[in-house]
Homo-oligomer: A and B are copies of this chain.
Amino acid sequence: MFSIGQLSKQTGVKVPTIRYYEQVGLLMSAGRTEGNQRRYDKGGLERLGLIRHARDLGFSIEAITALIDLQEHPDRSCQEATLIAQHQLTDVRKKLLRLKALETELVRIADGCDGEGNSEECYVLASLANHQHCRGEH
Interface residues of A (CB under 8 A from B): 46, 49-50, 53-54, 56-58, 67, 70-71, 73-86, 88-89, 92-93, 95-96, 99-100, 102-103, 105-107, 109-110, 113-125, 128-129, 131, 138
CB-based contact A119/B49 at 8 Å = no
Task: Please tell me which one of the listed residues B49, B95, B103, B116 contacts residue A79 in the complex, with CB atoms under 8 A apart.
Answer: B116
A79 to B85, CA, bound (A): 44
Known contacts: A85-B110, A89-B107, A103-B96. The answer to whether A53 contacts B116 by CB under 8 A is no
Task: Please tell me which one of the listed residues B49, B53, B125 contacts residue A81 in the complex, with CB atoms under 8 A apart.
Answer: B125
* Set of chain B residues within 8 Å of A89, measured between Cβ atoms: 103, 106-107, 110
